[in-house]
Structure 1
């Protein structure tokens, strides 16, 4: 279903979630702010939906982390967005008012309007055309998790001859990583809680419970061995993969640094990776479960749910 359009905002004004201090969901507030204007090379998007990710609250939790992302107070919240172009700056080609679009706007997506670079060359300051057949709520979940999953899989190159172990497979990035790996032809074993087993099977993974004894449980599932691994949560899956004989060159992390192992960064996803993910969604080959949606006024509840890290699927803000 297409995300509902919000009522018209006052001329010159718009709503945005902002923080005046770093912290958790309790510091998130909806403010009336001046509507941003598109400059040369930019487009302004009337946001209809914004997807939440763990990085949203991680990078605004404290001043030191925020500084690593170039963020200073007051700061906005959220990065993934979808909506409609409503203003085009000078020297922009390929976009016009009325185009449906999605992309990333680092820590400012939960707002009525975002202004982004029309070139699409900078991660989290980008805009892409939304394909027909992809609704706005779904489009608003693609950028951060899709880029990260694509970069992680590119680092190990799974294919039909691989049995791939994915740690933290039930999370937001795992939704994409599992399905993209299956599309590549790989067999996928995904770690998660016992309660997430059905969710993982629906994505195409063979579920296995994380925790003590993981290596033995994986051996029982794959007596022929595991050939590659991606750890989307920490380092436990890295250690198990090494124990199972997977070479470091076929192991990747996204949330931790391990000597000898590639750490993937969504900003380094290959050109066109995000557009390809959107095309796969439009073709019905990749699905993104939306676990819950909230109006912008309930941003704290939405952030609390997402930060709990137990939601199966994506959390979206409707604007």
Structure 2
């Protein structure tokens, strides 16, 4: 089940589940992957991407970015480029702890028999990358009996119980994130690693806003599974109520905030609401950008229509000698 785009070098204990809404473009996906592959999280976690449907264009983009990542890893590893003049910190992937070096094989793909301890994969660490479409995880489209059209923002919650249930013994911490809305720049799961497996961290939707964001949440595997299960129950209840009362369409963000505000329903979850909102890409140009990255490890693309994030990113990466030999856009 699913598509394995890249088999990692070892078994990971952390999982990033990135969901793609219908409006996601190929360039949006490539930007997300390029920044994820530079983050410390790429050396510690597996990445699963959940799509609304099967799309060959996205498959090609993921394979292209995987290939670029492996080239970067090889070329930076063999170069003498200083960290201050590099866009890619290879030490995230080469400095393994004793426990990491002894960890087992990835759970994705066929088991590989290899008795050699001196091969390349034994000296680097990176996770697997796999993709699923909603038909694989929710084949019956379980919400279709309540809605004429089930948007991806709602249907993804019907996919999580099966997906996270199947891998519940493999991962300690999980992050759910919207590919189009957010970019991973650091190690956001570092904020929850010391918390219990029942803990879930949510962030505010914006400055001066009391709402929390349904596009990103992270925490212990048990806590994330419980929140997903409760959210699916609330979606079903709300859609049934909508049919009877003929009220306005169900709002995923509104339902998520109602759930977060219900202490009784989430009594088995150690809910942590961040007191700070996530910054936007435009704020990275300010003097506080370093602090922003160290605090959150991820950032929102934002609604600034004058800033083409995808173009700005590739222009930045092409300014580095090694990167410019890897990405095809740098050769035009």
Structure of higher RCO (CA pairs closer than 8 Å, 6+ residues apart): 2
- For the aligned pair, the TM-score class normalised by the smaller chain equals under 0.3
What TM-score comes out, normalization by structure 1 length? Answer: 0.26
What TM-score comes out, normalization by structure 2 length? Answer: 0.26
